[in-house]
Structure 1
Amino acid sequence: MTIELRRITAEEWDPWYDALEWAFGGVPESPEERGLWRELALLDRSLGVFDEGRVVGTYGEFALGLSVPGGAVVETGGVTMVSVAGTHRRRGLLRRMMERGLAAARERGEALSALTAAEAPIYGRFGYGIAAHSLSARVPKHRVGVAAPPPGTDEVRLTVTTPAEALARCEEVYAQLVPRRPGMLERRPGWERSVLLDPPGERGGASERRCVVAERDGRPVGYARYALKVEWDRAVPSGAVLVRDLDAVDPAAHAALLRYLLGLDLTDRVELVGRPVDDPLVHLLSDVRRSDLQLRDRLHLRLVDVGAALAARRYAAGVDVVLAVRDAFCPWNEGRWRLSGGPGGAVCERTTDPAELELDVRALGAAYLGGSTLAALAAAGQVGEARAGALTPASTAFGHPVAPWLPHGF
């Protein structure tokens, strides 16, 4: 049997995508969603595994800009559309695609590689750590409200419109947030259309999506995109407000939007998914216990170039530490690196000095955005202290006051 791994051509994209859909259950996406991914896809980063002309494996990448601690946006390969046909499992095909993709990322000079995982255990063996989690909430609106709105909440003006009509104002808000929070994606041309996807066949009985825009002094300060799923239990409304996005530049705007969503008629709950783990709602809701908060993995991150990646971010405190990095999958990262820097910048270069901390690149990916501390990873046995006393200052330096968050998938 002859297996061929290569880039796909433009003519092969449709059968390639068909194979991807089949691997993910066989339910075809809407024409508008499929069309958008086709426009955003990069053919020179799209790999196919072929068995006698038939696609049995898929791998794609987007060129993304990921915000890191300190506010810089770092070039990142967004791994996506990965699948292997059930008939071709356990033959090393996924490994070959990942090797090819990461080697190409290194050649392009990308410091980071990121993905969201359909199945969480898959990508750790390739050096990806869970760099950001997300929060979901199911808020019973007749029993939970906004407990103590911050000053200025009542002065926020709210307007309801369509997501398309409000897009420019929403993107203005989103752009302000990107440098503030690690893990956010710079909105590059074409990606703004992804937030408008709302195929009728995928609404699950909910309404067309709406958008409420928060303004102050004529300037947008926040927005929420949501849909209503109206249901009845006998004569009592039992539906939901399904919130896709809720972004705001200040506390009052956030509180005003949350209060609006909790006050919508003909529903009994508000469902929010994919929120930051430090979302203000945790502190704004009057009864968190009734709000069914749940945590899940969100962003998986790996360092393609340890030196460049560690030098690209800023640190919460001064740091001067020698890291002994293990990376069997990308051996060019193996060895000892001296990281020196602080809030103003950093340098990370190879060294022959004795190691002070020892860790796998997977743990480095988990700590990179500040979502997990080196101390917590050490408690799990994933970071070793080769020099007594080295862990605490390094863990403090890697921290960040705002939790990392990936606002949307790719």
Structure 2
Amino acid sequence: MVHGTVGVGEDGGDLMTELRVLRQDEWNQWYGTLIRAFGGVLESPEEMELYGALTEADRSIGVWDGDECVGTAGAFGFRVTVPGGAEVPAAGVTMVSVAATHRRRGVLTSMMRRQLDDVRSWGEPLALLTASEPAIYGRFGYGAATFQVNAEIDTSRVRLSVPDGTEDVRLRYAAPADALDVCEAVYARLVPGRPGMLARRPGWERLGLLDPESKREGASPLQCVLARRDGEVTGYARFRVRPGWGNEGPSGTVVLADLAGLDPATEAALWRFLFDIDLTTRLTARGRPVDEAWQYQVSDIRRCRPGLRDALYVRPVDVGAALAARTYQAPVDVVFEVEDAFCPWNEGRWRLSGDAKGASCERTSDAADLALSVRELGAAYLGGVSLSSLGAAGRVRQVRPGALAEASVAFGSDVAPWLPHGF
């Protein structure tokens, strides 16, 4: 077990605290610190049990002031899909908190420092997180790389046009737990096709069944519908229904939890089913891909009230390995001048050469074509944020004329990156 010390507080007072790897028997106290930092509302027993089982203690750290835990941070061992379909090892940064009594004393910085050192030692070229407060993590090199659509669809007035083949899809109800294996098989087939998706490790499939009554807000227990074509399960939807009645009649809401389909007809059949559930007039969808087809099948997108929100933040921990792990949709040969004060091993010039078949990224003494920070590399890494847009924002500086447009096209992705669930 490696120990560290968090140093002097900003107020000049001595803050001698211990930073160390979490012991399994400390989990309850450590997790309690996290819960308090996020408002102190207790989770259900099933949530506590699941996250206790998923926590990787040897990849988690805590800061202790005597017997009191005052800081928490974890890192799940994930594999994330990148452009080209490869699954790249990545640290899923999670459960980060600092006790309110110990803010502005370097506790968070010390944990981020230790964590990124650990991730590098584990040989994982990427770190990922979802941010409760995005302003915090930019200074540690994390860039917003994926976005998601939230929608409130007025299904009493919006209609869906569906593609050919939709009528061939058959839908049947299934108990969510009984259908778990076939749902996971569908999910696994989709993972290579969209950057940002996480290959689920054992235990993570239980996240989709988490259904505490305290989180339903008056809706039903979780329901599941399976889609089949030619006898094969090709998709599923998990959802709840919140009944409602007004002076004009039923006004229930369908609350979508998860939907996946292996082909456009299956996806359309599932969305049409959700639109048409009896006694409902509204469909709420959260965290959907920004390029999902239903947005172009509806009769009135305005009555769907779509809204955009940031989702996955990406940080290259090893710039060379990260850029070499993905492919590029157009040939690219560019030298980046990378700024990374927090992880100085990344600083300097890197030559990226690649195309749709593969890539290499090595240190070079050649003149730079583009200059940027590791944060911008993280934002553009999955292909959902344009390097040209970052350049227009003043975040990427073009040194060689034409280099920005060339690199921006190469970094793009035909399919929008998407994080399917939080962690």
Please state whether the residue corresponding to 1:328 is helix, strand or coil.
coil
Distance, in Å, in 1 between the alignment partners of 2:325 and 2:44 is 39
Counterpart of 1:2 in structure 2 is 16
Q: Pairwise mapping of residues 198-347 of structure 1 onto structure 2 (< 5 A)?
A: 198-234=211-247, 236-347=249-360
Of 69, 77, 80 in structure 2, the residue corresponding to residue 66 of structure 1 is 80
The letter for the 1-side match of 2:275 is L
Per-residue CA deviation, residues 266-300 of structure 1 (Å, 9 max, x unaligned), is 11100000000101111111110111000000001
Match of 1:141 among 133, 136, 155: 155
Match of 1:128 in 2: 142
SS at match of 1:189: coil
1:19 is aligned to: 33
Matched residue, 1:185: 198
- 2:176 pairs with one of 144, 163, 172: 163
1:84 equivalent in structure 2: 98
How many pairs align? 409
SS in 2 for 1:268: strand
CA–CA separation in structure 1 for the residues paired with 2:413 and 2:279: 41
Deviations 1:237-289 (A, max 9, x none): 22210001111111100110000000001111000000001011111111101
SS in 2 for 1:257: helix
Cα deviation for residue 235 of structure 1 reads 5.5
Equivalent residue, structure 2, for 1:173: 186
Secondary structure of the 2:214 match is helix
Asked whether the 8 Å contact 1:172–1:220 carries over to 2, the reply is no
User: Match of 2:265, SS?
Assistant: helix
Report the CA distance between 1:234 and its aligned residue: 3.6
Residues 313-357 of structure 1: CA distance to partner in whole angstroms, max 9, x if unpaired? 000010000000000111100000000010000000000000000
Q: Could you tell me which of 117, 122, 136 is aligned with 1:103?
A: 117
Distance in 2 separating the partners of 1:235 and 1:163? 33
Whole-angstrom CA distance in 1 between matches of 2:44 and 2:365? 55
Gap runs ≥5 in structure 2: 1-14
- Structure 2 matches for 1:107-122, cutoff 5 A? 107-122=121-136
Identity %: 57
**Unaligned ranges ≥5, structure 1:** none
Q: Name the CA distance, whole Å, in 1 between partners of 2:65 and 2:273.
A: 54
Q: Which residue of 1 aligns with 2:71?
A: 57
Choose the corresponding residue for 1:381, options 394, 415, 418.
394
363-372 vs 4-13, which moves further: 4-13
TM-score by length of 2: 0.96
| SS in structure 1 of the partner of residue 280 of structure 2 | coil
**CA–CA distance in structure 2, aligned partners of residues 289 and 8 of structure 1:** 49
Aligned equivalents of 2:406, 2:281: Cα separation in 1: 48
Distance in structure 1 (CA, Å) of the matches to 2:174 and 2:248: 29
Q: Given residue 4 of structure 1, which amino acid in structure 2 is its aligned partner?
A: E
CA distance in 1, matches of 2:25, 2:382: 39
Runs of 4+ aligned residues of structure 1 deviating over 4 Å after TM superposition are: none
Rounded Cα–Cα distance in structure 2 between residues aligned with 1:137 and 1:19: 33
Question: Which of residues 49, 53, 74 is equivalent to 1:39?
Answer: 53
| 2:42 match | 28
352, 362, 367: which is aligned to 2:375?
362
Q: Kindly indicate whether the alpha-carbon contact (under 8 Å) linking 1:357 and 1:385 is maintained by their aligned counterparts in 2.
A: yes
Letter in 1 for 2:370: L
Contact preservation (8 Å) 1:322, 1:353: yes
| Aligned equivalents of 1:99, 1:394: Cα separation in 2 | 30
**Counterpart residue identity of residue 156, structure 1:** V
Following the alignment from structure 2 to structure 1, what is the Cα–Cα distance between the partners of residues 60 and 50? 15
Query: For 1:91, what is the secondary structure of its paired residue?
Result: coil
In structure 2, distance between residues paired with 1:378 and 1:234? 54
Is contact 1:65-1:74 (8 Å) kept? yes
Q: Matched residue of 2:226: which SS?
A: strand
**Residue 197 (1) aligns with residue 195 (2):** no
Q: Distance in 1 between matches of 2:196 and 2:370?
A: 25
